Amino acid sequence: MSKKYRIGILGATGTVGQRFIQLLENHPQFEITALAASDRSAGKPYAEACAWKLPGAMPESVKQIIVEPIAPPLDCEIVFSSLPSSVARETEEAFARAGCAVISNSSSYRMDEDVPLLIPEINADHLGLIEVQQQKRGFGKGFIVTNPNCAVVSFAPPLAALHRRFGLESVVVTTLQAISGAGYPGVPSLDITDNVIPYIAGEEPKVETEAQKILGVLTNGAIEKADFNVSAQCFRVHVIDGHTASVRVNLKQKPTLEEVIETIQSFPSLSLHSSPPRFIDFCDEPSRPQPRLDRDAGNGMTITVGRLFPDNVFDYRFVTLSHNTVRGAAGSAILNAELLIDKKIL
Ligand code: NAP
């Protein structure tokens, strides 16, 4: 049997931490050997520290693991971090310095110029930054890679398809983001029930900048960001899981509708363990995508695109959707780790 990598999860009791534990159960390449969270949880068996909120039972294999504080050393070689950004920066650096591969969901390092911001199907070559990072920061064998903001993941894939073939000029995006994106307990029920909230703290700047780094080109150890502007408005809506984005684009070339659909539909998937059969699923049913119906496509790893039409003001418009705690967080981080193994960086 091939080697299983030892995994530590930081923020293991939270919304994303629980999703990691669910997705890693019976994973052929990884075994959970350490769990860490705040002082509230440290010292307790996981079953006691964590109020499990996902469907199905908490996996037996983690119940008796004693939750530790978020400081190295932990018994692991890969760290999946789902910490609030307030503590992530210092903690993730400490683990990288201690020799761990740190794979982070938090926003702390995403835009640092020597840190890969990965969607494996789009920019696996950005892993070339790891060597630059290790040298610059004196990390030794440890390093940090990140996955994008959960709303950005929902629309960056169709943008990547269009940008590669036709060149993006400008993008306007309106996101409709699920409640679970705010963690647990998250948004108070009296604020979100029967309501739409036109503000998510700190979200619009992330949605306006991350795609340009993801679609950037790595040359001479640095990423030249893609040259288009994004204008974003972000809303919290009364949906439990699944972020929707309404997108309008102007393109440098002027393709036909058929060419646009074909380009989005044919964007290739990978063949890693957690890769979905289809990375982007194009749906021409007029009322889709919908969070309840489409968020679990490809085990939550597929991006669903629909409502694609020529627009009266922009060139094209479409609606896109992804599962925020799977493709938008834990599932993406696990895919990043599988990519690191595939590329022999781990
Ligand atoms: P959450 O449900 O609030 O969970 C936070 C976790 O971090 C818990 O395990 C908590 O431990 C721990 N924690 C909180 N404060 C801490 C501290 N001062 N020291 C040590 N541990 C601390 O949040 P979440 O939704 O899982 O989000 C975690 C991170 O992932 C955030 O950076 C978020 O932006 C990012 N993210 C979230 C999503 C999503 O859809 N939710 C998607 C993408 C990225 P205790 O239980 O012990 O308090």
* 150 among known catalytic residues: yes
115-161 pLDDT, tens digit per residue, is 999 999 999 999 999 999 999 999 999 999 999 999 999 999 999 99
Answer yes or no: do 66 and 206 share one domain.
no
Collapsing DSSP to helix, strand or coil, 83 comes out as: coil
Q: Which residues have C-beta within 8 Å of that of residue 239, sequence separation ≥ 6? A: 176, 178, 179, 291, 292
Answer yes or no: do 111 and 173 share one domain.
no
pLDDT band at 3 (very low <50, low <70, confident <90, very high): confident
Mean pLDDT of the chain: 98
Q: What share of the chain is helix, strand, coil (3-state, %, to 5)?
A: 35, 25, 40
Q: In the chain, how many domains are there?
A: 2
> Could you give the C-alpha distances from 116 to 65, 88, 99, in angstroms and in order?
31, 16, 17
CATH of the domain at 88: 3.40.50.720
Answer yes or no: do 113 and 238 share one domain.
no
* 163 among known catalytic residues: no
Answer yes or no: do 176 and 55 share one domain.
no
Q: What is the CA radius of gyration of the chain?
A: 19
Distance, in Å, from the CA atom of 197 to the CA atom of 321, rounded to the nearest integer, reads: 19
CA of 214 to the centre of ligand 1 (A): 24
Ligand 1 pocket, Cβ-based, cut-off 6 angstroms: 11-17, 37-38, 40-41, 70, 82-85, 87, 105-106, 150, 180-181, 183-184, 324-325, 328-329
What is the 8-class DSSP label of residue 300? G
Answer yes or no: do 39 and 108 share one domain.
yes
Answer yes or no: do 34 and 143 share one domain.
yes
pLDDT greater than 90 at residue 327: yes
Q: Which residues have C-beta within 8 Å of that of residue 46, sequence separation ≥ 6? A: 12, 13, 35, 58, 62, 63, 64, 65, 66, 67
What is the 8-class DSSP label of residue 327? I
Strands in the chain per DSSP E: 5-10, 30-36, 78-81, 101-104, 143-146, 168-177, 217-219, 222-224, 229-236, 243-251, 280-282, 303-310, 316-322
Answer yes or no: do 299 and 261 share one domain.
yes
Answer yes or no: do 92 and 215 share one domain.
no
CA of 251 to the centre of ligand 1 (A): 37
pLDDT band at 343 (very low <50, low <70, confident <90, very high): very high
Tokens coding 246: 């309404």
Answer yes or no: do 239 and 284 share one domain.
yes
Task: Indicate which residue of 100, 150, 234, 283 is catalytic.
Answer: 150
CATH of the domain at 186: 3.30.360.10
Distance, in Å, from the CA atom of 149 to the CA atom of 25, rounded to the nearest integer, reads: 24
Answer yes or no: do 259 and 288 share one domain.
yes
Of 83, 84, 20, which Cα lies nearest the Cα of 54? 20
Answer yes or no: do 183 and 108 share one domain.
no
Answer yes or no: do 65 and 135 share one domain.
yes
Q: What is the pLDDT of residue 1?
A: 57
Distance, in Å, from the CA atom of 329 to the CA atom of 327, rounded to the nearest integer, reads: 6
pTM exceeds cut of 0.75:
yes
Nearest-atom index, ligand 1, CA of 84: 32
Domain housing 175: 150-323
227-277 pLDDT, tens digit per residue, is 999 999 999 999 999 999 999 999 999 999 999 999 999 999 999 999 999
Percentage above 70 pLDDT, the chain: 100
Strands in 11-93 per DSSP E: 30-36, 78-81
